[in-house]
Amino acid sequence: MTAIRTTNMPDGSAMPVFGLGTWHMGGNASAFADEVAALRAGLDLGVTLIDTAEMYASGGAERVVAEAIKGRRDETFLVSKVLPTNAAYDKTIAACEASLERLGTDHLDLYLYHWPSGTPFEDTIRAFEDLQQDGKILRWGVSNFDVDEMEAVEEISDACQANQVLYNLMRRGIEHDLVDWCEARSMPIMAYSPLEQGSLLNDTIVREIAEARNATPAQIALAWILRNPSAVVIPKSSKPERIRENLGALDIALSDEELEALDDAFPPPSDKQSLEMI
- Report the interface residues with ligand NDP, using CB under 6 A: 21-23, 51, 114, 143-144, 164, 192-198, 201, 218, 234-239, 242, 245-246, 278
Q: How far is the CB of 256 from ligand NDP (least distance, A)?
A: 25
3-state secondary structure of 134: coil
| Choice between 82 and 131, CB closer to ligand NDP | 82
Q: How far is the CB of 274 from ligand NDP (least distance, A)?
A: 15
For the annotated catalytic residues, the residue numbers are: 56
Contact 126, 89 (CB under 8 A): yes
Tell me the residue type at 212: A
| Choice between 82 and 127, CB closer to ligand NDP | 82
176 annotated as a binding-site residue: no
The Cα–Cα gap between 126 and 163 comes to 18
Contact 82, 95 (CB under 8 A): yes
State the CB neighbour count (10 A cutoff) for residue 251: 10
Q: How far is the CB of 68 from ligand NDP (least distance, A)?
A: 14
Contact 176, 168 (CB under 8 A): no
Q: How far is the CB of 151 from ligand NDP (least distance, A)?
A: 20
3-state secondary structure of 111: strand
DSSP string, 135-203: TSBS-EEEES--HHHHHHHHHH-S-EEEEEEE-BTTB-GGGGTHHHHHHTTTPPEEEESTTGGGGGGG-
Which residue has its beta carbon closest to ligand NDP?
Answer: 21
| Choice between 33 and 135, CB closer to ligand NDP | 33
Contact 248, 216 (CB under 8 A): yes
| Choice between 199 and 260, CB closer to ligand NDP | 199
Q: How far is the CB of 219 from ligand NDP (least distance, A)?
A: 8
| Choice between 12 and 76, CB closer to ligand NDP | 76
List the alpha helices (DSSP H) in 59-120.
60-69, 89-103
Binding-site annotation, residues = 114
Binding-site annotation, residues for substrate = 114
